[in-house]
Amino acid sequence: MHQPVDSLATPRFTGPRTFARLPYVPTLDGVEAAVFGLPWDGGTSFRAGARFGPEAIRSASALLRPYNPDQRVQVFGAVSTIDHGDAPTVPGYIERTLPRLQDFVGSIAAAGVVSFGMGGDHSVTLAELRALAAVHGPLGVVHLDAHSDLWDRYFDLPYNHGTVFRRAIEEGVVDPGRMVQAGLRGSLYAPEDEALAADLGLEAIPWRELAGLSPEAFADRARARVGTGPCFFSFDVDLVDPAFCPGTGTPECGGPTSFQALELVRALHGIDFRGFDVVEVSPPYDGPGQQTALLAATVLYEMLALHARGRADGSAADRRIAATGVGELDDVARRP
Amino acid sequence: MHQPVDSLATPRFTGPRTFARLPYVPTLDGVEAAVFGLPWDGGTSFRAGARFGPEAIRSASALLRPYNPDQRVQVFGAVSTIDHGDAPTVPGYIERTLPRLQDFVGSIAAAGVVSFGMGGDHSVTLAELRALAAVHGPLGVVHLDAHSDLWDRYFDLPYNHGTVFRRAIEEGVVDPGRMVQAGLRGSLYAPEDEALAADLGLEAIPWRELAGLSPEAFADRARARVGTGPCFFSFDVDLVDPAFCPGTGTPECGGPTSFQALELVRALHGIDFRGFDVVEVSPPYDGPGQQTALLAATVLYEMLALHARGRADGSAADRRIAATGVGELDDVARRP
Amino acid sequence: MHQPVDSLATPRFTGPRTFARLPYVPTLDGVEAAVFGLPWDGGTSFRAGARFGPEAIRSASALLRPYNPDQRVQVFGAVSTIDHGDAPTVPGYIERTLPRLQDFVGSIAAAGVVSFGMGGDHSVTLAELRALAAVHGPLGVVHLDAHSDLWDRYFDLPYNHGTVFRRAIEEGVVDPGRMVQAGLRGSLYAPEDEALAADLGLEAIPWRELAGLSPEAFADRARARVGTGPCFFSFDVDLVDPAFCPGTGTPECGGPTSFQALELVRALHGIDFRGFDVVEVSPPYDGPGQQTALLAATVLYEMLALHARGRADGSAADRRIAATGVGELDDVARRP
Amino acid sequence: MHQPVDSLATPRFTGPRTFARLPYVPTLDGVEAAVFGLPWDGGTSFRAGARFGPEAIRSASALLRPYNPDQRVQVFGAVSTIDHGDAPTVPGYIERTLPRLQDFVGSIAAAGVVSFGMGGDHSVTLAELRALAAVHGPLGVVHLDAHSDLWDRYFDLPYNHGTVFRRAIEEGVVDPGRMVQAGLRGSLYAPEDEALAADLGLEAIPWRELAGLSPEAFADRARARVGTGPCFFSFDVDLVDPAFCPGTGTPECGGPTSFQALELVRALHGIDFRGFDVVEVSPPYDGPGQQTALLAATVLYEMLALHARGRADGSAADRRIAATGVGELDDVARRP
Amino acid sequence: MHQPVDSLATPRFTGPRTFARLPYVPTLDGVEAAVFGLPWDGGTSFRAGARFGPEAIRSASALLRPYNPDQRVQVFGAVSTIDHGDAPTVPGYIERTLPRLQDFVGSIAAAGVVSFGMGGDHSVTLAELRALAAVHGPLGVVHLDAHSDLWDRYFDLPYNHGTVFRRAIEEGVVDPGRMVQAGLRGSLYAPEDEALAADLGLEAIPWRELAGLSPEAFADRARARVGTGPCFFSFDVDLVDPAFCPGTGTPECGGPTSFQALELVRALHGIDFRGFDVVEVSPPYDGPGQQTALLAATVLYEMLALHARGRADGSAADRRIAATGVGELDDVARRP
Amino acid sequence: MHQPVDSLATPRFTGPRTFARLPYVPTLDGVEAAVFGLPWDGGTSFRAGARFGPEAIRSASALLRPYNPDQRVQVFGAVSTIDHGDAPTVPGYIERTLPRLQDFVGSIAAAGVVSFGMGGDHSVTLAELRALAAVHGPLGVVHLDAHSDLWDRYFDLPYNHGTVFRRAIEEGVVDPGRMVQAGLRGSLYAPEDEALAADLGLEAIPWRELAGLSPEAFADRARARVGTGPCFFSFDVDLVDPAFCPGTGTPECGGPTSFQALELVRALHGIDFRGFDVVEVSPPYDGPGQQTALLAATVLYEMLALHARGRADGSAADRRIAATGVGELDDVARRP
């Protein structure tokens, strides 16, 4: 059972930084959940810097402790969790980078390990979706973000952080009928941009609407949308207002507080997530107090708790087997 | 028709910074809305730095896109809008600076162009009000701010960022019967300070009260107050809590979030604003993520949208003509 | 009557920094309220830096004015208030430092002066509680914080910022039956940590629950808990979300806004507080705009207002005399 | 004659930022020297951010005045100089970006205008060299840098900021027999790396050796090496110690001071430079005082002075015609 | 005898910040040397912020100890030295501010106390010179700066930080025949600017020349120039390269290191300085490590040491009496 | 053979941060050189923060490559080197912390592995010296620092960062006859402080004197002093001027440049160093470009190169055996 170093025994500021002081383990035996970095910012249209996102999230995550009182679940110590290191990238070459990211995540998925990615700009999510869909089939998606990331092209080229979900749908790795995105706000190119989600067949909830929903109401809607099949959960930190997450590439003013954002995440239990990511952390634009990295680490921790809850009550695993029949025996067998 | 460079064709981080990537145009032909800077911080009583406010707002505004989904209006492309550069100032000499600012804004107003000023400390607003009143007559005012700016003197002298609206009322360029200020909070010199607004004949809504109003309720109250005559809208970024706007000269803790503040602005449609400003952006105190400048740019964008809405439905222009009869023929004729 | 320099006569950025531009007075004659620093960060488990907390709070406090409109009370000018300087500390030696802090605060308490401490990490509160209990007997406590600070030991040693209230209860300087803590959130070591408060006999309100209470409802509950005896009020700035207070040692995402936090403080009138502190301000992690220090200064100002209200209506003083009979005659006699 | 706005008439902090307050001119008529940005950081192997280099250099350059006393030459007012805006780039696609940069610079070169590029990471120089060689033939090069940028591949791919001069030599756009690089220092992959320059036929002067040369001795050596043919001058700000240039992608400790670096630049008169660049300015890593951007602006200003000196004495132009016979008639004719 | 708090007894980070932990004393009895602030930035032509210079210098000066080994003199404990607080200013009104500064410094000079001013932008020096000349007659001046500050007008107005020494000469408070300025560098408006010093009758040593002089050679030249009469020593921190002093209003790249600058100051013994200042410290542009403020504090400390040396050997006082006959009996009598 | 990850294969910004991308290895088999952190700042008298020094040095060290051209030696790949993690500490309890640090270093020394410590404030060096002396006997010391660290007590207590070498000499773990310290500067408490080194029997070279020595002359003097016995090399980053190392606890202006400092280190070959450290890196005071951490990483790299040179030519190992006869057979046998 992999778990963090005990912070009552040695101070939190001690030792090479891994996520939540978990062991760095380059292999996957005996592992149920793997946290890893996707250090890439070549797909960003404005501020770069997200290649250092994983380093910053690891640094801030030293404050995390094993038990999550909001979700009432033991996160570390109950689920064997590791820091799996970072995927390789090739600065300047997005089309060379995506397959490398995909291979890295693919080996995790193939081992039946649930993946928790630390971005990196949002273009990395395409690689994760490709890798997971190869193992689990087309994925449902819960996507929290200020931007839809459904644009077609920038500068006449297909891959970047604003086109990732359109590409994923076109490639069939995401099932738009089982996808919901929420938190959308900010200026657009044209009125038609508001129709992008509907045109592509997915559900979109603008922040203006989301602001009026309770976390449970939102979660019910998300659960109804994504159903019981295998899913992915992607959290772009620019969902949150720039006061809480200044360290990001394309901030949008006027979003939720961190409390509102965390409550949305915590409410999303009971979904069969096979992979998660938190993206768009750009440390050079963060404050000296690293609030963006700290929130990203906390969101990841809540995601780990969602997974731990699913395991604890068994219901998610059961639904998973019933619904997909893919790789589930291994998945269950792997558990002690 | 002046409009921004297309950010789907060249990246947003390209080119000399103008507001929202609009063309810098020193003349006013064919222009309906002019954004400009008022680079002055000689009137501030605490932190200086606002002379660089226009530069920072321009830098952050590169993220703005043409269509505003919150107000459901095309902002750029529908209204011919330019960056008109900055007004001249004289560091150290506030009484020399105010007339120069006034001349600059006056030429915009005289051309029938709606003015959008980027401050600069709040003392610049006096120059704007003088310039606009010279063209439009005494103005109604909507003033969002943590401070009333109604004090009489500091250090026994009349002009600075805390006395601007008292001076404007005394000079007759603002009609206090058509002025409302909202968001007031923070410590005062004495209990009598709370009566300043009433003594001067304007309406004041403290933040404590505003916090309990819906944006529409506030807007209704503002509309009722300012009536159908020509108005000015001044937004001091210290209205917003310092977590959202740390980069300002006299921050006051415990204010609205940026979402609350933007909703207040968006609600103020249907008023005949002839000029707008966003003031007190002091970049050296902003965070590395420039959240203050970004919010100021967004507020200005919402103001541009208010103007675009007014034009789109025609009703504002109609009301303008009916109510004031000043300069309106030119105003209408100017439009293509 | 000690009161601040007049900021309408000389600018706020003038002169050596003391709290709110109050005179620095090393003696206690004619003093009713003493603000002072506790420059210590040897008890922090993560980020250090709070030894510079008092300097930063003093710097930011220059913006405070004498009248508090939220509590409708004259703070300065009505209560004779000073900046009493800083307590001595011994870097690296927490067990040598605590008695020095205690002596410093003890001399204030012995003089019948109400104490307002600026931290420093939370371990300083143990010294304050010891000092005040020596004069007033066991204290009731209102404690606003993201953390319970009820752990037993770190690294097998008893004194640090996470054990302070357990130690105080064990030592009998705090009466757990008259103690309430609120705002708790963030990950824990184990589910049993949630029971720490109950085990020790005090009342704990997690942030999740507090978020649903009105300030007055919270204050009623606090008043009911602490009763009419002498009390202490401790405010850890990590109560507030890191967007508002990034400059702190162990930030926890997802907390209240500064407006919410200030409203909680303002509601706590009518309690017989003999001492107050604001702790865990770590300036090197604050933003360039110093928002953490500014909020800490504002919280301290609201505490001074609570005290001024108590004095103004006489009821608190009356209750004090009735309830404790300790030192009250001197206390009353001291007032002009 | 294009020249800057007069800073004795309007303050330096006024107006949209262009290089040295020069006019932004998108055309090239009547222009002799064009300053422009190359906003790209997709080729950097460590810290990104240089896409904002042109913005930062423009911002800092507001401090530049027209006369250069170190080189005793009038820079602005004597040579018609503009800010020509920025070249387009495609984030994430280095092989798509290089041709766009090349086209932009090519049009300047084709117009007989001397080019002054603001980077951007060093990979942009390959595009500049291609563009200039297309007009002027193979170029001599003076290259000041902590790194040789002669590596073959990173991550098995050919284009990035560490391979630029090897590629340029392989492509024949640089004549290694007329190239000198100086300032090299810092750790290497293997001892053979020290032989890279010799293997490729160019001259390399490590910082350890350069530190012992007077600026004139260095310049004599450079002049001897590059001869009288058309040349390019590339200055990577990481030449200078990180105390002076912290805002860069791959800093190397232990380099020259800014005074030493500027003296090297000033000494390089009498060379027939057809293009110049200053690269690797990464603003998010710069200090609040923007010292890196300021030094980059100053280096560019010294380069403009080198050009102005060449024109003033006529000798460079004469040598140009004698030595290359390429495009010189146009070049001379172009001058008023 | 006023002297600092002992930092072996209480930590340096303790207590309200005064210069070097000296007592804050608003009166002048028993005082020989008075350090004070001139919090003003209304005269700056580029970056503001120097109004907070005194606060930052005080903060950094906590590191200073009583004995100066470079000058081999006891600074504190031998000379009765105080922090005298700050002069009043009026933001926005330079012509109202200068007399207030002058009155403040004048009272110090009138008491026979040597004055040590902390700026503030350089325009404050005009007030100091007026005040000291009123007591001591026309002053000799040693002026270390990157800029001559001899311009006539900016924006057609007479007072700002670039015109101070021309005004002082015109007013007769400085004797140009006894003035030397050194360290000049950076771009100018026109070649004639290089002749400004000669035209006005003072001696100017550009940095290019100063860089080749030993500190003693420079000091000999300065001593020869200023003679034995009463003098003023003004140090603008932009003398030093921006790597050492980023926190300043108009930085110039390519200047001396801090070691070179301090050696110049230390060499200037044996001059009858009646006043000193260190100006142009702008904290919002300083690095997180406050290196500019620290250097300013150290320069001021070296100035205090120059004064202490003069007193220790008696020669300066003797020369003073012989040369001027002004106020010297009081000056001597004042000493214990 | 342990060596770093290849940065031509995966980018430098990839993976959990260890020193120079070396493997983190908690055991010592097959190891010759161990780099480790000493995360402690409880002994600092001014600014805290050095507990995060190891994290920052690791982060910056990603730029280091295997071959050192200045010392002409292969550093990585030739000597089996690891990142050994961090020693445990107890915040607030210096007397509890020192033994834990000592045990950690002692186990390295006992294994015959050369130790390279990353501080942490300078008090950690006492633990290192105790640990190494227990294995190797009393040590010679080369100490580069702005401060002598020979004071007796602060606040009447024995252990902190200013007393470390006095304690070490008193305890007999350092032989003052074989110790030299250099770089001393800055103000002192009294003239007698200059005699501290002589009184204790060690040699001290002030920066003023060191500035006039060539690196080789200094190294010759150091070699003559420390002789052929086992030695320790301690480098306090405040040796270097604050422009280069702002991120430190007690900066002193007017020191060497980073180039000068590195040259001093590189010259110290041929000494039998058994341990090294670089201390006083305080990241919260470093610039955004991390120049302090980068210089500390580079100094450590030069120390590793000194060790590699010693091994390469065999002479140091030979001298070691001849001179001490302690543990050398194991040491030699351990090598492949």
Pick out the residues of the known binding site of C. Answer: 122, 145, 147, 149, 236, 238
Nearest to D304 by CA among D314, D312, D293, D315: D312
User: C27 by DSSP, 3-state: which?
Assistant: coil
User: Are the Cβ atoms of A287 and B290 closer than 8 angstroms?
Assistant: no
H-run or E-run covering F34: strand F33-38
HSE, CB side, 13 Å, CA atoms: give it for residue A321: 12
Tell me, yes or no, if D17 comes closer than 8 A to chain B by beta carbon: yes
Which is nearest to A233 in space by CA: A281, A298, A310, A179?
A179
> Quick check: A329 pLDDT over 60?
no
From the CB of residue D214, how many other CB atoms can be counted at a distance below 10 Å? 11
The pLDDT of residue F220: 98
Contact B124, B117 (CB under 8 A): yes
Chain F CB contacts of D211 below 8 Å? 259
Distance CA D305, CA D81 (A): 12
Query: What is the residue whose two structure tokens read 């070097």?
Result: E20
Question: Residue F244 and residue F296: Cα distance in Å, rounded?
Answer: 10
Q: Which of A293, B289, B281, B183 is nearest to C259 (CA)?
A: B183
- Min Cα separation E124/chain B (Å): 12
Tell me what the mean pLDDT of segment B189-210 comes to. 95
Looking at residue B326, its pLDDT comes to 32
In three-state secondary structure terms, C93 is strand
Closest by CA to A82, choosing from A27, A38, A25, is: A25
| Alpha-helix runs per DSSP H in chain F | 53-60, 94-110, 124-136, 164-170, 196-200, 207-210, 215-226, 258-266, 291-313, 315-324, 328-334
Q: Do C83 and E9 touch (CB under 8 A)?
A: no
**Which chains neighbour A (Cβ–Cβ under 8 Å, 3 or more pairs)?**
B, C, D, F
Where would I find the beta strands (DSSP E) of D203-284? 203-206, 231-236, 273-279
Give the relative orientation of helices B124-136 and B94-110 as an angle to the nearest 10 degrees.
40
Give φ, ψ of B59 to 5 degrees. -60, -50
Distance between CA atoms of A239 and D206, rounded to whole angstroms? 49
Lowest mean pLDDT among B246-260, D50-64, F131-145, F322-336: F322-336
In 3D, which of A116, A33, A71 has the Cα closest to residue A266?
A71
The enclosing H or E element of B86 equals strand B81-86
State how far Cα A287 lies from the chain centre.
Answer: 22
Distance separating alpha carbons of residues D196 and D211, to the nearest angstrom: 21
- Best of B5, B7, B51, B55 to disrupt the D interface (most D CBs within 10 Å) is B55
Residue D288 is nearest to which of E154, E246, E253, comparing CB atoms? E246
The pLDDT confidence band at residue B334, using thresholds 50, 70 and 90, is very low
Token look-up 């501030």 returns: B44
List of chain C residues whose C-beta atoms are within 8 Å of the C-beta of residue B189: 8, 65-67
The helix (H) or strand (E) run that includes residue B55 is: helix B53-60
Is B147 annotated in a binding site? The answer is yes
pLDDT tens-place string over residues A192-231:
999 999 999 999 999 999 999 999 999 999 999 999 999 9
Q: Classify residue E314 as left (phi > 0), alpha (psi -120 to 50) or beta.
A: left
Phi, psi of F273 (to 5 degrees): -75, 125
* Alpha carbon distances (Å) from C103 to B117, C99, C130, E8, F179: 56, 6, 9, 19, 42
CA–CA distances in Å: residue D290 to residues B14, B53, E250, E259: 20, 16, 11, 22
List average pLDDT for each run of 10 residues in chain F, which is 336 residues long.
84 95 96 98 96 98 96 94 97 96 98 98 98 98 98 91 98 98 96 94 98 98 98 98 98 98 98 98 97 98 97 56 35 30
A316 three-state secondary structure: helix
The pTM for the full model equals: 0.94
What angle, rounded to 10 degrees, do the helices at D291-313 and D53-60 form?
A: 70
Of A11, A16, A52, Cβ closest to residue F85: A16
**Does the pLDDT of residue D260 top 80, yes or no?**
yes
For residue A269, CA distances in Å to A215, A232, A296, A298, F8 come to: 11, 13, 19, 16, 42
pLDDT tens by residue, F151-171: 998 888 999 999 999 999 999
The pLDDT, as a whole number, for residue D314 is 59
Answer whether B136's CB lies under 8 Å from B109's CB. yes
pLDDT of E53 = 98
d(CA D272, CA D267): 14
Contact E159, E98 (CB under 8 A): yes
Structure tokens that stand for D123 in this block: 């990979």
Task: Kindly report the number of other CB atoms within 10 A of residue C228's CB atom.
Answer: 18
Q: Which CATH class is domain B19-333?
A: alpha beta
* The predicted structure's pLDDT at residue D7: 82
D272 is annotated as contributing to ligand binding: no
**pLDDT score of C312:** 75
A238 is in an annotated binding site: yes
What distance in Å separates residue C68's CA from the closest CA in chain B? 5
Q: Which of B163-172, C164-173, D78-87, D322-331 has the lowest mean pLDDT?
A: D322-331
Chain A and chain B share a number of CB contacts under 8 A equal to 111
Chain F contact for A11 (CB, 8 A cutoff)? yes
Share of chain B above pLDDT 70, in %: 93
Question: For position E314, what pLDDT does the model report?
Answer: 59
Integer CA distances (angstroms), C214 to C211, C217, C220, C225, in order? 8, 5, 10, 17
**Which residues, 6+ apart, have CB-to-CB distance to F203 below 8 Å?**
F179, F180, F181, F197, F221, F225
E53-89 residue pLDDT tens: 999 999 999 999 999 999 999 999 889 999 999 999 9
The yes-or-no verdict on residue B332 having pLDDT over 80 is: no
Model pLDDT for residues A131-145, shown as the tens digit of each residue: 999 999 999 999 999
pLDDT at site F155: 85
Q: In this structure, what token pair is assigned to residue F59?
A: 């982060």
Partners of A285 on chain B (C-beta within 8 Å) are 288-290
Query: Which residue in D163, D187, D250, D280 has the most chain F C-beta atoms within 10 A of its own C-beta, making it the best mutation to test that interface?
Result: D187
% of chain B at pLDDT higher than 90: 88
Residue E115 has pLDDT above 90, yes or no: yes
CA separation for the pair C259, B255 (Å, rounded): 6
Secondary structure element (H or E) that encloses residue C210, with its range: helix C207-210
The tokens describing D228, both together, are 């009288």
Q: Is B90 on the interface with E (CB under 8 A)?
A: yes
Share of chain A above pLDDT 70, in %: 93
The span from the CA of A193 to the CA of B233, in Å, is 30
Q: What pLDDT sits at residue E8?
A: 80
Provide the 10 A C-beta neighbour count for residue F333: 8
**DSSP letter, residue F117:** E
Pairs of residues, one from chain B and one from chain C, whose beta carbons lie less than 8 Å apart = 109
pLDDT confidence of residue A314: 59
Q: What is the pLDDT of residue F305?
A: 98
Q: How far apart are CA D7 and CA F276, in angstroms?
A: 54
Angle at F172 between CA F167 and CA F173, to 5 degrees: 85
Secondary structure of residue D194 in the 3-state scheme: helix
Domain boundaries C19-312, CATH class: alpha beta
Place of tokens 């492509």: D171
Burial of B98 (0-12, 13-18, 19+ CB in 10 A): buried
- Our CA-based measurement puts residue F63 at a distance from the nearest CA of chain E, in whole angstroms, of 22
Gap between the Cα atoms of C278 and C120, Å rounded: 8
pLDDT at A327 over 50: no
- Residue ranges of the annotated binding site of F for Mn(2+) are 122, 145, 147, 149, 236, 238
Q: In whole numbers, what is the pLDDT of chain A averaged over residues? A: 92
Chain B contact present for A212, CB below 8 A: no
Kindly state the tokens that stand for C10: 């000389």
pLDDT tens-digit readout, C206-219: 999 999 999 999 99
Q: Which token pair is A19?
A: 């996520």
Q: Which of E210, E289, E291 is CA-nearest to residue E244?
A: E291
CA distance E123 to A306: 62
Give residue-wise pLDDT tens across range B98-132: 999 999 999 999 999 999 999 999 999 999 999 99
Cβ–Cβ of A49/D155 closer than 8 Å? no
User: Does residue E325 carry a pLDDT above 60?
Assistant: no
Domain E19-334 top-level CATH class: alpha beta
CA-based torsion, E197, E198, E200, E201: positive or negative: positive
How confident is the model at residue F4, as a pLDDT?
Answer: 87
Question: Is the per-residue pLDDT at A241 higher than 60?
Answer: yes
Residue in the structure block whose two tokens are 């202006």? F253
Tell me the chain B residues in contact with residue D15 when contact means C-beta distances shorter than 8 Å. Answer: 37, 85-86
Tell me the three state secondary structure of residue D301.
Answer: helix
Pair E43, B91: CB distance under 8 Å? yes
Sheet holding E203-206: strands in order across?
A: E81-86, E33-38, E114-119, E273-279, E231-236, E139-144, E174-184, E203-206
Nearest residue, CB atoms, E242 vs list D8, D74, D289 = D289
What chain A residue is nearest to F59 in terms of C-alpha separation? A55
Looking at residue B314, its pLDDT comes to 59
CB-CB under 8 Å, F11 with D254: no
Nearest of C25, C120, C134, C131 to residue C82 by alpha carbon: C25
pLDDT at F319: 42
Chain centroid offset of residue C336 CA: 26
Interchain CB distance below 8 Å, D74 and E46: no
> Considering only alpha carbons, which residue of chain A is nearest residue B260?
A254
E-state strands within D185-327: 203-206, 231-236, 273-279
